[in-house]
Structure 1
Amino acid sequence: MYQPPQFREDDLSVQHALIRAHPLGLLITAGPDGPTANALPFHLVDEGPPKGVLQVHMSRANGQWKEIAAGAPVLIVFQGDNAYITPSWYATKRETGKVVPTWNYAIVQVRGSAKVIDDSGWLRTQIEALTGEHEHRRPAPWRVDDAPAAFVDAQIKGIIGVEIAITGIEGKWKVSQNRPKADIAEVIDGLGAATEVHANPGMADLVRRYGVDR
């Protein structure tokens, strides 16, 4: 990933937090017929390798797992908050006019050692962990056990697991750090304005944290 130094985010806890907040990752492999990409919800496990482990399941009908079993390298992309940034927000526009639009975003890319897991016990544990992670905030969380056991068993037979021990992880937070302070302040105001067509409170918070609070 192209990484200008001012946009790098090397804090593993910050990278992991983005993965947990935006777990739908794009799993990319390079097989004999070219690249394959599938969007899948991942479960991040802190235990094990220093950088963590990603666990995922997919349909057996999805041939990507066969590429992984054959040794294809994997890349997983997790996209966080992103927003169009209009030059109309910049103080520099009024001063010189020498401005252009851009796009702000936070993104994490992961590489690792992947293995296919065809084990019903592992798969059940993985889907229970993934479900629990996203149901626990509900007043009455849905549990895998809420479905009939025979139905769950049949569903598990139709999927296969993949586990990736993370060997490389990169974070890129492109959130206006390269702009003058006056431009950063107006970007925060623009992104936070309720009447602004390009409003994005989440990105406004990132711009504030990386451009003002640091």
Structure 2
Amino acid sequence: MYMPAHFEENRPEVLHRLIAEQPFGALITNGPNGLDANHLPFEAQLVPAGDDASAPQSRCLLRAHVARANPVWKEAATHPDALVIFQGPAAYISPTWYPSKHEAHRQVPTYNYIVVHAHGRIVVRDDEPFVRGLVARLTRKMEAGEAVPWKMGDAPADFITQMLGAIVGIEIEVTRLVGKWKLGQNKEAADRRGAADALLARASDQQRAVGQAMLDAPPAF
């Protein structure tokens, strides 16, 4: 991913928070038939490092499940390298929102966005306890906002067992996290504020999220 220095975000806690808040990721693999993409909800877990002082402070594990009929889990045995893309809010930026445009007319449209790339290797977890636990935890998280949350126990046990048999778990130990917060850090303060204010006045939650992030991000100069 192209990464100008002023857009780089490398604080682990910020990257992990984006993954937790936007868990629906795009799993990119390069199998025997070339590039493939699968769109999956992921569970992220930070695992404390051991006693080795040279080890990183924690490891990030990403867990998901795919349909047993999906060849990606079989291909992972010989092609385990993977990239998972977690997309944060994104919004179009009009040049008319920059005050300097109306003075010198030297601005062009762009998109501002937040994204995290997680690199790692897939390990297949084709065991019922792993898959059952993963589905239960993902369900609890996704149902948390419902007035009456659905839980696995609401369905007949034999039906849940049948459904679990139709999926396979995968686990990715993240070896590298890359974050890009493209939020106009390279713009003059007045132009950045003008664009942020325009987004904050919009009806879309995503546009307002980008506008607020623009105000929160430190400028490049």
TM-score scaled by length of structure 2: 0.91
Which of 90, 105, 108 is the matching residue for 1:100?
A: 108
Residue 198 of structure 1, CA deviation: 11
C-alpha distance 129-198 of structure 1, shift in aligned 2 (>3 A) = closer
Q: How many angstroms apart in 1 are the aligned matches of 2:123 and 2:206?
A: 41
Q: How many angstroms apart in 1 are the aligned matches of 2:182 and 2:123?
A: 32
Q: How many residues align?
A: 212
Q: Map of 1:1-214 to 2, 5 A cutoff?
A: 1-48=1-48, 50-194=58-202, 200-211=207-218
Gaps of 5+ in 2: 50-57
TM-score scaled by length of structure 1: 0.93
Residue 211 of structure 1, CA deviation: 4.4
> 2:119, 2:174 within 8 Å by CA — same for their partners in 1?
yes
SS of the equivalent of 2:147 reads: coil
Show CA shifts across 1:105-143 (max 9, x none): 000000113200110010000001111112223332211
> 2:23, 2:43 within 8 Å by CA — same for their partners in 1?
yes
Percent identical:
38
SS of the equivalent of 1:137 reads: coil
SS of the equivalent of 1:52 reads: strand
Q: How many angstroms apart in 2 are the aligned matches of 1:141 and 1:113?
A: 33
Taking only aligned residues, the RMSD between alpha carbons, in angstroms, comes to 1.9
> 2:24, 2:39 within 8 Å by CA — same for their partners in 1?
yes
SS of the equivalent of 1:26 reads: strand
> 1:85, 1:101 within 8 Å by CA — same for their partners in 2?
yes
Residue 72 of structure 1, CA deviation: 3.2
SS of the equivalent of 1:36 reads: strand
Residue 51 of structure 1, CA deviation: 3.5
